[in-house]
Amino acid sequence: MAGWISLHRKVRDHWLYKEKRVFSKFEAWVDLLMEVNHQDNKVLLGNELIEVKRGQTITSMRKLCDRWGWSNTKVKQFLTLLQNDGMMTYKSDTKKTVITIANYEHFQNMSDEKTSQNTHGNDTKQTRKHTNNNDNNDNNENKVISTTTGIDPEYGELITIFENNIGMIAGSINEETYYEFYQLLGKELIIHAIRKATERNKRSFGYVKSILNSWIKANCKTVADAEAFDQQHFSQNKKGVNRVGKSTSDTKKYDFSNITVNTRE
């Protein structure tokens, strides 16, 4: 039988796919095809903003071990096997593993994507979802938003960066708030807040929101302003900790959500 079928990425949310098991090699290969980006994107990894191309994904050996139920050795041998067969390439370092699927267009036909875009082009009110490996409809929807509703595509990139590093924004109210932050503070300050949240392992919308609100109250306009503000209040916090006889190195006591500041004149 000739031809091919479309396999929606959300199949991985189905209870059949989520069944706890040891993956076969075929399942692992299909999982990689569903994991890679359908379009060029950027991912914030620590202090580095990394460009991830269409057909690529950034992951780690540990994540693949956990998801497939394999040992680290088996994962490496499998990736090497695929690479030797010309199916993909991968590069690993101490922080990440970058996987690139060869001939990705064979698995993601562009003509089908354009047809889907025309079908869904009028539905601009649907809630937007942006992830490192969005499904086709999400990709098409992003294009519609940027061309017909006038929303800056840079904002879509900020949603992607947030959800790749913090988690899903989850809800129109949060997304509206996030967009307001984008209008008030701009791209660089939002990325800086996301970086601070990930460094402190405070991965929640509420924590990022508290950081951004504190910068708005302090009238911060640049990353330098935010750093100066943070340093000032970090020093104040250390003095407060010393007064009650606790260690100044306990950074968990420093929480932006508890800071009250006066707006500059």
What are the tens digits of pLDDT across the range 179-197?
A: 888 888 888 999 999 999 9
Sheet containing strand 56-59, edge to edge, reads: 56-59, 97-101, 88-92
pLDDT at 65: 93
pTM metric for this prediction: 0.46
Q: Considering only the top CATH level, what class is 10-106?
A: mainly alpha
What are the tens digits of pLDDT across the range 102-136?
A: 988 777 664 444 444 444 444 333 434 444 444 44
pLDDT at 253: 36
Is residue 177 a contact partner of residue 209, using CB atoms and an 8 Å limit?
yes
Closest CA to 165 of 18, 41, 66: 41
Higher pLDDT, 148 or 196: 196
Domain with CATH 1.10.10.10 in the chain: 10-106
pLDDT at 240: 57
What are the tens digits of pLDDT across the range 4-47?
A: 777 788 888 888 988 899 999 999 999 999 899 888 888 887 77
Closest CA to 74 of 28, 140, 9: 28
Question: How high does pLDDT run on average in the chain?
Answer: 75
Closest CA to 156 of 184, 185, 198, 187: 187
